[in-house]
Amino acid sequence: MGIILSFIIKNYYHSIPVTIKSDVIIFETNVADNGLAVKIPFVPDFNRIKNERLLDILKGLNFEENSFGVNGTKTKLTAEEKILDNATFSENYFSLVTSDKVSLNRELTDRRPKECVERAKSYGPMSPASIIIVFHNEAFSTLIRSIHSIINRTNFKRIVEIILVDDASDKAFLISPLSDYIKLLPIKMHLIRLNERSGLVRARLEGSKLASGTNLVFLDSHIEVTKGWIEPLLVDLDDKQFRIVSPIVDVIGHTNLEYQQSIEGLNGGFDWYLSFIWQAVSYQDFEKRDISENIPTPTIAGGLFAVNRLLFWEYGSYDSAMKIWSGENLEMSFRAWMCGGRLDISPCSRVGHIFRDKSPYTFPGGVNEVIYTNLKRVAEVWMDEYKEFFYKYVEYAKTLDAGDMEERKEFRKRKNCKSFKWYLENVVPEGNIPFDFISLGTVKLASENTCLSLDKDDGEGKVVLAESCDENRRGQIWTLNKRGVLRQHKMCLTFINTESDSFVETQSYACGYAHEETHQFFDYNPQSRQIIHRESGKCMSIYNEKVGFEPCSESNRFQHWLFEGYRNE
């Protein structure tokens, strides 16, 4: 049985009541209001440390403000350090040696646009937040740097507490050394330890249950916040409208910890795999906006965001049946928009995040089963008939047991949430799934087993081929919409303008906006079975296994096409 343990520490901490809980152990510290100012950057009082293991760890770390990695610069390793780095890299799939070398208190440049600095001067009242950080076998220096960056660059009036949730780590340095380290911090801390590996969703829910702040701020355990980061996330939150606000997520290099500023003008989307992707905000919308104004986003990456605590619970928190990690961000994104809320990215809040090429975490049950079971729950609860795009691309997901979804479906009904078609049409009208699709599947010659094909990897400028139909080829799955756009996942069939009246090969290019890309619009005649380029009047045909356009001829069998699942609406 888990218990809530209390630290009673003279001068700095009040006593905490002992409470019994069945499945977690929670350590709590409560900073006394003793009038002592916190010196920034924060350096712990080593004289108060009795844990010899913790002392050994801290002696190997760097607390200097202007040392390795200052202002986010890359850190180089010596030849000897590189040998150790190669030996330890796979533990977290980022450089542990570099993380230990870079200062826990390194200074970072203020990366806000001047418009954001000005806007910050006029912020009105805002309610404080509980910060929740989930970790599993995180590198000690990386986790502590995340916490120090919060302490060093956040107005304490904005924070009620920091809640760490340990998702069953088995690294010795994350047990008693970490428990003892948080006693030294000048802010109220909770450390929740889950008894078994539970995953991001359950871990965050445990942290949220303990939180007392008006707002919740979720962060990952390998981040660094920058100056002025928290106010833009909190200032627009209230208990009236369900709103989720995410910062711009900058990149911290996984080999050298270089802080790299992400480009602006991006928001979140998703593809047919139901993978989160970054996408460009439309040029017109981006040019018109004040650079300090929030950017509406169809989806969020999910690692870093703020939300009102009461509305977080009222609007469904997380789908607690999801396992470990993946899909929870899309579930929350769809739910927010469809049930009357909204998602924004604040360009005035920047948080760096270590992105790595490979995940070091275990997925009990197998990676694919965990990920696609979660995504199946998203598709079945929220996507209505558009879930077929996901199943066409990940047919394996159909075989998985996604568990009982009635509670989530009932929540959607009870909240009178809108349809997924409404979401596509109003929130992401130019996304990868067209709201007005009239076919989904192969585009096949009527006279033979030949289908329109793209290579397995998306890419611009690729020649579209005519190849033997293969139900396992994702590159043969196309969708036609009412507007006349013929899309294969992220690419669209594109007519290449030419003066020639002979056969002209077609290619695949990124799908453009309807009012700009006239060479991406086609009409399908179900009677003649011809696909006609709207502007030139030429018909799609085949020559030497390549797809192109030539003058229309109803007698040419290579111009007769059938769309799988075609609906003549």
Q: For 122-151, what is the mean pLDDT?
A: 97
Beta carbons within 8 Å of 88's beta carbon, 6+ residues apart: 96, 97
Residue 323, SS3?
Answer: coil
Q: For 505-524, what is the mean pLDDT?
A: 78
CA distance 41 to 196: 35
Whether residues 345 and 451 fall in one domain: no
Q: Is residue 359 domain-resident?
A: no
Whether residues 309 and 192 fall in one domain: yes
Whether residues 264 and 170 fall in one domain: yes
pLDDT category of residue 23 using cuts at 50, 70 and 90: low
**Which of 146, 77, 156, 73 is closest to 108 using CA atoms?**
73
Output the pLDDT for position 365.
75
Yes or no: say if 135 and 165 are a contact pair by the CB < 8 Å rule.
yes
* CA-to-CA separations, 256 to 14, 59, 73, 374, in angstroms, rounded: 41, 21, 9, 33
**Torsion angle of alpha carbons 432, 438, 444, 445, nearest 10°?**
-130
Query: CATH number of the domain that 13 lies in?
Result: 3.90.550.10
Give yes or no for residue 361 having a pLDDT over 90: no
Q: How many CA atoms lie within 13 A of 310 on its CB side?
A: 7
β partners of residue 3: 20
Whether residues 71 and 165 fall in one domain: yes
Give yes or no for residue 10 having a pLDDT over 50: no
Q: For 339-351, what is the mean pLDDT?
A: 97
Instruction: Report pTM.
Output: 0.92
Q: Which of 308, 337, 354 is the last residue of a domain?
A: 354
Q: Is residue 427 domain-resident?
A: no
> What is the tens place of the pLDDT at every residue in 84-121?
999 999 999 999 999 999 999 999 999 999 999 999 99
CA distance 411 to 195: 30
Whether residues 445 and 350 fall in one domain: no
CA distance 498 to 517: 15
Of residues 387 and 3, the one with the higher pLDDT is 387
Q: Around Cβ 156, how many Cβ atoms within 10 Å?
A: 14
Q: What is the chain's mean pLDDT, rounded?
A: 90
Q: Is residue 52 domain-resident?
A: yes
pLDDT category of residue 458 using cuts at 50, 70 and 90: low
Q: Is residue 432 domain-resident?
A: no
Residue 183, SS3?
Answer: helix
CA distance 368 to 136: 20
Beta carbons within 8 Å of 195's beta carbon, 6+ residues apart: 2, 23, 24, 25, 168
Q: Which of 354, 374, 407 is the last residue of a domain?
A: 354
CA distance 257 to 176: 27
**Phi and psi torsions of 270, nearest 5°:** -160, 160
Query: CATH number of the domain that 469 lies in?
Result: 2.80.10.50
Cis check for the bond before 41: say yes or no (omega within 30 of 0). yes
Strands (E), 167-317: 189-194, 215-219, 223-225, 243-252, 259-260, 266-270, 276-280, 295-296, 305-308
Q: Is residue 39 domain-resident?
A: yes
Q: Is residue 200 domain-resident?
A: yes
**Which of 557, 564, 524, 528 is closest to 542 using CA atoms?**
557
Residue 219: in which H helix or E strand, if any? strand 215-219
CA distance 329 to 246: 12
Q: Is residue 309 domain-resident?
A: yes
> DSSP label at 209?
H
Number of domains in the chain: 2
Whether residues 111 and 237 fall in one domain: yes
Whether residues 443 and 320 fall in one domain: no
Q: How many CA atoms lie within 13 A of 332 on its CB side?
A: 33
Q: For 503-520, what is the mean pLDDT?
A: 75
Q: For 287-312, what is the mean pLDDT?
A: 92
> What is the tens place of the pLDDT at every residue in 38-77?
789 999 999 999 999 999 999 999 999 999 999 999 999 9
Whether residues 153 and 296 fall in one domain: yes
Q: For 222-249, what is the mean pLDDT?
A: 97
Whether residues 324 and 468 fall in one domain: no
* CA-to-CA separations, 350 to 73, 105, 158, 227, 231, in angstroms, rounded: 17, 17, 16, 8, 11
Yes or no: say if 383 and 327 are a contact pair by the CB < 8 Å rule.
no
Q: For 147-174, what is the mean pLDDT?
A: 97
pLDDT category of residue 265 using cuts at 50, 70 and 90: confident
**Which of 566, 495, 556 is closest to 528 using CA atoms?**
556
Give yes or no for residue 327 having a pLDDT over 80: yes
Give the pair of three-digit tokens for residue 180: 């003892």
Whether residues 131 and 261 fall in one domain: yes
Q: DSSP secondary structure string, 350-398? A: EEEEE--SS-----TT-HHHHHHHHHHHHHHHH-GGGHHHHHHH-GGGG
Q: Is residue 534 domain-resident?
A: yes
> What is the tens place of the pLDDT at every residue in 168-212?
999 999 999 999 999 999 999 999 999 999 999 999 999 999 999
Q: Tell me the torsion sign for CA atoms 515, 519, 521, 523.
A: positive
User: CA angle at residue 515 from 512 to 519, to 5 degrees?
Assistant: 60
> What is the tens place of the pLDDT at every residue in 526-564?
999 999 999 889 999 998 888 999 999 999 999 999 999
Among all chains, which residue has been given the structure tokens 């844990």?
51
β partners of residue 504: 549
Residue 538: give the domain boundaries: 437-563
Q: For 263-267, what is the mean pLDDT?
A: 88
Q: Which of 320, 354, 388 is the last residue of a domain?
A: 354
Give the pair of three-digit tokens for residue 297: 């986003």
CA distance 549 to 563: 18
The amino acid occupying position 76 is: K
